[in-house]
Structure 1
């Protein structure tokens, strides 16, 4: 899970080293070549632009990630409510609905979550949920079971709602233009010292490489946070493992 971050950091180091080596000066320029106020203004604008874009990306991605994680627990709770309500159905209907709920939950955990990491939901899980709805709809309409059937239908509607929200969040992400702006700002920030005449000494190049590594890591981190269901920071299947444990408790 750290390979991408490490490669990004090394790429930032290489980028900074190449810029410092080929754009840097062999000798220090005379002090008259520099305008301290102008350089301070330009450097401050570049740094603040990069920080602003990075903060915007991280805040937006983290908010989407938190929402997606919360929705999975909402879906898991709705599955538990449906499972509990199914306990009031006729014996044959109860066994069938609960078995189908267990199958759907297992499909989400084992089949769909790997698909979510690749940007799409699982048709198999959708079909499993449709079978649950069909079984609840076909349950015996006896007056003694009507309240349980109604409760199961309501809880199942919540499952569909949260699942649809999760399907929409899979395709979510920050606008592409902000990524382009972030990369451009980071590149200019690393290139700023060599363009101004940074001497290509070993000490200066090492310092510039640290700057490149920090900027590359920040960009990589924001990119990894941008996808709510991708590793290493994406939502896991913990909520559905919890739902399965609740099923076992209710069976007991």
Structure 2
């Protein structure tokens, strides 16, 4: 094993460019083990660990000036404080990435579901117990744009408290009594949860037989979609056994024309 490596050799060993090592030398964060009279810079294998630490700290968004300060005055207590801080930062970033992945995966699943759906046809399916975060709207009449925005903002804040990402897959809930009366005013906005959480807005969808109905059209056609859903239930001899849930499976994230949106209506039913 070699004791000393020229700068180009050491750069290749570390997966860095020669220019990066020259920059580190200039700012004093990582100097060569020695410089020969010829001007060649030489590094030792033991410096590889320092390069690895610099890479990890840089990836955790630590400024080079802070890294330099630590390396020049390294001691155990300072190192513990620095690394504990970076561990917390990376865990927060990982949680944020997990939320983004969850949002994108849910949206992707919905798009695939919408692509495979048959609109205007009712189907029955057996579903296990599911969990939602459901924020009450408090609406007594159709909301203004401002009130709708405030309510959705409150819902997304609740989702964030539960570790959910952006609200790409928010839906609405129409209480059973309202639906049977033909009053299709949403009482809750909801987003799916991967499991139960401790939150006042936790909502449990019961296991059982559910009717699912896909409707193609824009949001302004939702009242007509709800009415068709209930008519189809009656035609099939099914009784609404719970609230009605609406969730987009294809919307503005997939198509530009609202007439091509696909809305999924579902509810627990009994024969």
TM class by shorter-chain length? under 0.3
Greater helix proportion:
1
Greater strand proportion:
2
TM-score (norm 1): 0.24
Tell me: higher relative CO, structure 1 or 2? Use CA pairs within 8 A at least 6 residues apart.
Answer: 1
**Computing the radius of gyration over CA atoms, which structure comes out larger, 1 or 2?**
2
